[in-house]
């Protein structure tokens, strides 16, 4: 099958939303100035191609860059990236970016950004993210991290977003319990209303700081969702389910918080051969159904 010519859609006047999963050598020429949504997933694209998107995508409202660029090419361009003129995207509200592309944050200003999704580890992006937030002067409401190691500096990164109302962690790696102890401090994300953790692989003893966090935030946190890959059940010989995994005092405390108005959903996910994973949630009574 012959590849699609790169300029096939260059003059498509009705084209506003584009999503493509490109081979490493594909650089589609698109009508950048009229696009409102753009999602790219590829392995290698030149830095100049990204800059063209930023320079000409003034009407973009959603930009998703799930990229795995050629690392040697990207490293060679690192200095030039940091000194590239800053481009303002005045309409952009949703940005999803791979952490390997965090240097692009030094080249953009997003005054209307409300939702930021970061994929990958974040240890090396704190400086890029800090300068980006200061430059954009925006109030991000929704923050999401995928496949991220939750290390000591993660809470410092969260403090860059004091007005955050929603935090999502997808397939996180928790190295210790320090994050949950820190989240029990209401000075960290004081406006947080929705907190979701998907596919967390933790041991039973993590429930102690998690319960402390929920108790400390019961006056402001409206919804807490957590799906787990269970390890270290206190009843190792019993079936691996959330009902068996939690101790009775913990379940009673969760029911109390639920009855007081916090929407709590804690469950386990089980992969299936076809379709989405099967999720079983803890029954906290009629109030939480």
Q: Using alpha carbons, select from 134, 62, 50, 46 the residue that is nearest to residue 96.
A: 62
pLDDT of residue 269: 75
Give yes or no for a contact between 232 and 261, defined as CB atoms under 8 angstroms apart.
Answer: no
pLDDT of residue 73: 52
Q: 């939750």: which residue's tokens?
A: 150
pLDDT of residue 2: 44
Q: Which residues, at least 6 apart from 176, have a Cβ–Cβ distance to it below 8 Å?
A: none
Residue 67 pLDDT exceeds 50: yes
pLDDT of residue 42: 78
Residue of higher predicted confidence among 285 and 171: 171
Give yes or no for a contact between 172 and 203, defined as CB atoms under 8 angstroms apart.
Answer: no
Residue range 257-267, pLDDT digits in tens: 999 999 999 98
Residue range 222-250, pLDDT digits in tens: 999 999 875 544 444 444 567 777 888 99
pLDDT of residue 274: 63
Alpha-carbon distances, residue 140 vs 20, 167, 226, 257 (angstroms): 27, 11, 22, 28
Alpha-carbon distances, residue 20 vs 37, 43, 63, 199 (angstroms): 11, 12, 12, 27
pLDDT of residue 43: 67
Terminal alpha carbon distance of the chain: 51
Domain extents for the chain?
141-288
pLDDT of residue 25: 60
SS3 at position 44: coil
pLDDT of residue 63: 96
**What are the start-end ranges of the H helices in the chain?**
47-56, 71-76, 78-82, 126-136, 154-158, 178-183, 207-216, 242-245, 248-259
Mean pLDDT of 104-113: 93
Residue 55 pLDDT exceeds 70: yes
Residue 22 pLDDT exceeds 70: no
pLDDT of residue 29: 79
For Cα atoms 62, 38, 115, give the angle at the middle one, nearest 5 degrees: 20
Give strand pairing partners of 266: 226
Residue range 84-101, pLDDT digits in tens: 789 999 999 999 998 888
Q: Using alpha carbons, select from 86, 118, 88, 114 the residue that is nearest to residue 101.
A: 118
Residue range 30-47, pLDDT digits in tens: 888 999 999 988 766 778
SS3 at position 35: coil
Give yes or no for a contact between 25 and 42, defined as CB atoms under 8 angstroms apart.
Answer: no
SS3 at position 89: coil
Alpha-carbon distances, residue 267 vs 11, 59, 154, 241, 246 (angstroms): 49, 40, 25, 8, 11
- Mean pLDDT, the chain, rounded, equals 83
Q: Is 173 left (phi over 0), alpha (psi -120 to 50) or beta?
A: beta
- pLDDT over 90, % of the chain: 47
Q: Using alpha carbons, select from 53, 44, 30, 110 the residue that is nearest to residue 77.
A: 44
* pTM (two decimals): 0.85
pLDDT of residue 14: 72
User: Which of 3-17, 63-77, 156-170 is predicted least confidently?
Assistant: 63-77
Interhelix angle 207-216/248-259, rounded to 10 degrees, is 20
Instruction: Report residue 157's pLDDT band, with 50, 70 and 90 as the boundaries.
Output: very high
């Amino acid at each position: 099958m012959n590849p699609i010519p790169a300029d096939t859609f260059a003059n498509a006047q009705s084209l506003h939303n584009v999503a493509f999963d490109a081979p490493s050598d594909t650089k589609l020429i698109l009508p950048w100035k009229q696009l409102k949504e753009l999602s790219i997933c590829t392995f290698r694209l030149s830095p100049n191609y990204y800059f063209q998107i930023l320079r000409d995508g003034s009407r973009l409202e959603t930009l998703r860059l799930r990229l795995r660029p050629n690392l040697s090419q990207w490293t060679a361009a690192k200095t030039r990236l940091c000194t590239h003129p800053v481009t303002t995207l005045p309409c952009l509200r949703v940005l999803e970016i791979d952490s390997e592309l965090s240097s692009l944050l030094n080249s953009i200003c997003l005054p209307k950004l409300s939702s930021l999704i970061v994929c990958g580890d974040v240890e090396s992006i704190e400086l890029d993210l800090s300068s980006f937030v200061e430059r954009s002067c925006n109030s991000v409401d929704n923050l999401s991290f995928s496949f991220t190691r939750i290390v000591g500096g993660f809470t410092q990164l969260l403090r860059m977003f004091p007005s955050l109302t929603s935090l999502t962690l997808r397939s996180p790696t928790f190295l210790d319990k320090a994050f949950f102890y820190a989240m029990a401090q209401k000075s960290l994300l004081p406006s947080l209303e929705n907190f979701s953790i998907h596919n967390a692989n933790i041991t039973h003893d993590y429930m102690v700081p998690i319960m402390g966090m929920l108790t400390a935030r019961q006056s402001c946190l409206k919804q807490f969702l957590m799906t787990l890959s269970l390890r270290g059940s206190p009843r190792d010989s019993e079936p691996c389910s959330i009902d068996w995994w939690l101790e009775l005092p913990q379940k009673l405390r969760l029911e109390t918080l639920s009855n007081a108005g916090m929407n709590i959903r804690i469950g386990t996910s089980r992969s299936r051969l076809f379709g989405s994973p099967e999720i079983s949630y803890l029954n906290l009574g009629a109030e939480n159904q």
